[in-house]
């Protein structure tokens, strides 16, 4: 499948820049997740809403049977609106405010993933005021590194996330004393864009150790939640549009020793939606600089911030041209030097008006858009609407 799969005539009629979502890719991705996770007893997959909360995508993901992993009250609202059942919604986050906790309580969500004792106390109090018992899991910091960009590791002792492992038993004992919380699970999340299954294996080993300690204390845990983090192939979105879910779920099935009746929860974000989305942008000018050629496009880091924020690579295709490739710096219009999508990439010879597709942009793209420079937020369009 080459770049020819973009319906160029239709795209030409839409105001740029915008996100284009290929629902065929999304559906095939969801089928692969269900097929591979479905091979293992007790595996439950949630979608991490923060990767992309486009309501139309959420509805497709919900229809495929995934739960929702939320990190804010706004995401809980988006998940409820998209029809995710309340008992499939989990809520994590290092700084939950009172209204967000109350929203979770009012919606009787499946679980709060709790990151500190002060937070647990507040949940207990707010649940008490409502005459409810909140189900809680503790997010532990497993001190497992991930071979990914330093800004997106979350499971190291130095990161702000989670509760230190040495405090595990004492927080569980604290929770047992409280009337309006029920401890049901352990939660982990070691980072994002992880392609080395060895990192997930290291997490499994850590969880096995921790479960051994729980056994010694005769503490039963209903579920283990290992978070998300599976990466995608940003280099080859055409050749490898579906992440290797088989390797991912098989790693957990092989390495993590679940106790009888325990369920294993996953919270995949990027791996679900990254490859179905492209940011479509129009070429405004070709500028011959002193040393190189610039393709100045009408999208900027306000539309897709990943290159500026994490030096992330996104494949770019000139979908309007078949002429032989030339090297360009592809840059946006925003008044910041970091507003660069790629440096010295080969693109089919570009002209004013050509549409460029910035690929693998379905995750952490549209949802991170801002209005800096008083720019409009990009819209999202689905291929099958
Ligand atoms: C961000 C996040 C995820 C999803 O991460 P991906 O790398 O997109 O799969 C899952 N769980 C938690 C708690 C997160 O913060």
Say if ligand 1 is within 6 A of residue 330 CB: no
Q: Note the pLDDT of residue 46.
A: 98
What is the per-residue pLDDT for 182? Answer: 98
Per residue in 53-94, pLDDT (tens digit) is 999 999 999 999 999 999 999 999 999 999 999 999 999 998
Q: What number does the ligand 1 atom closest to the CA of 192 have?
A: 7
Q: Is 52 in the pocket of ligand 1 (CB under 6 A)?
A: no
- Ligand 1 center–CA 94 separation, angstroms: 13
Q: Is the CB of 228 under 6 A from ligand 1?
A: yes
pLDDT of 144: 86
For the Cβ of 314 lying below 6 angstroms from any atom of ligand 1, the answer is no
Question: Which pLDDT score is estimated for 151?
Answer: 60
pLDDT digits (tens, 9 = 90+) for 111-155: 999 999 999 999 999 999 999 999 999 999 998 876 666 665 666
Ligand 1 neighbourhood includes 274 CB (under 6 angstroms):
no
Supply the pLDDT for residue 1. 36
Q: Which residues does the chain have with pLDDT short of 70? A: 1-4, 146-160
Residue with CA nearest ligand 1 atom 11: 227
Structure confidence at residue 2 (pLDDT): 44
Nearest protein CA to atom 3 of ligand 1, as residue: 228
CA of 104 to the centre of ligand 1 (A): 19
Determine if ligand 1 sits within 6 Å of the CB of residue 280. no
Residue 333: Cβ-neighbour burial (10 angstroms; 0-12, 13-18, 19+): middle
Q: Does any ligand 1 atom lie closer than 6 A to the CB of residue 229?
A: yes
């Amino acid at each position: 499948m080459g770049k020819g799969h973009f319906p160029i005539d239709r795209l030409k009629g839409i105001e740029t820049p915008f996100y284009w979502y290929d629902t065929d890719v999304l559906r095939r991705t969801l089928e692969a997740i269900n097929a591979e996770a479905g091979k293992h007893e007790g595996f439950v997959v949630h979608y991490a809403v923060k990767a992309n909360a486009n309501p139309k995508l959420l509805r497709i993901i919900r229809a495929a049977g995934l739960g929702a992993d939320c990190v804010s009250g706004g995401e809980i609202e988006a998940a409820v609106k998209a029809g995710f059942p309340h008992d499939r919604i989990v809520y994590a986050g290092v700084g939950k405010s009172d209204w967000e906790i109350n929203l979770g309580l009012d919606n009787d969500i499946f679980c709060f993933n709790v990151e500190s004792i002060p937070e647990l106390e507040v949940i207990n109090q707010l649940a008490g005021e409502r005459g409810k018992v909140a189900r809680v899991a503790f997010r532990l910091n497993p001190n497992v590194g991930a071979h990914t960009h330093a800004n997106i590791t979350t499971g190291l002792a130095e990161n702000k996330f989670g509760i230190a492992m040495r405090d595990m038993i004492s927080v569980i004992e604290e929770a047992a004393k409280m009337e309006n919380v029920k401890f049901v699970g352990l939660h982990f999340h070691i980072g994002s864009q992880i392609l080395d299954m060895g990192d997930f294996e290291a997490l499994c080993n850590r969880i096995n150790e921790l479960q051994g300690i729980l056994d010694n204390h005769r503490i039963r845990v209903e579920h283990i939640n290992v978070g998300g983090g599976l990466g995608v192939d940003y280099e080859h979105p055409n050749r490898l549009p579906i992440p290797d879910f088989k390797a991912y779920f098989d790693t957990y099935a092989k390495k993590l020793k679940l106790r009888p009746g325990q369920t294993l929860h996953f919270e995949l974000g990027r791996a679900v939606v990254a490859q179905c989305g492209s940011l479509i942008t129009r070429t405004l000018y070709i500028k011959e600089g002193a040393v190189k050629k610039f393709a100045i496009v009408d999208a900027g880091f306000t539309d897709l911030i990943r290159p500026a924020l994490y030096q992330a690579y996104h494949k770019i295709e000139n979908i309007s041209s078949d002429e032989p490739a030339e090297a360009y710096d592809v840059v946006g219009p925003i008044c910041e030097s970091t507003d660069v999508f790629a440096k010295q990439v080969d693109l089919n010879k570009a002209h004013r008006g050509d549409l460029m597709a910035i690929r693998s942009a379905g995750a952490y793209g549209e949802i991170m858009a801002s209005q800096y420079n008083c720019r409009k937020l990009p819209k999202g369009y689905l291929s099958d609407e």
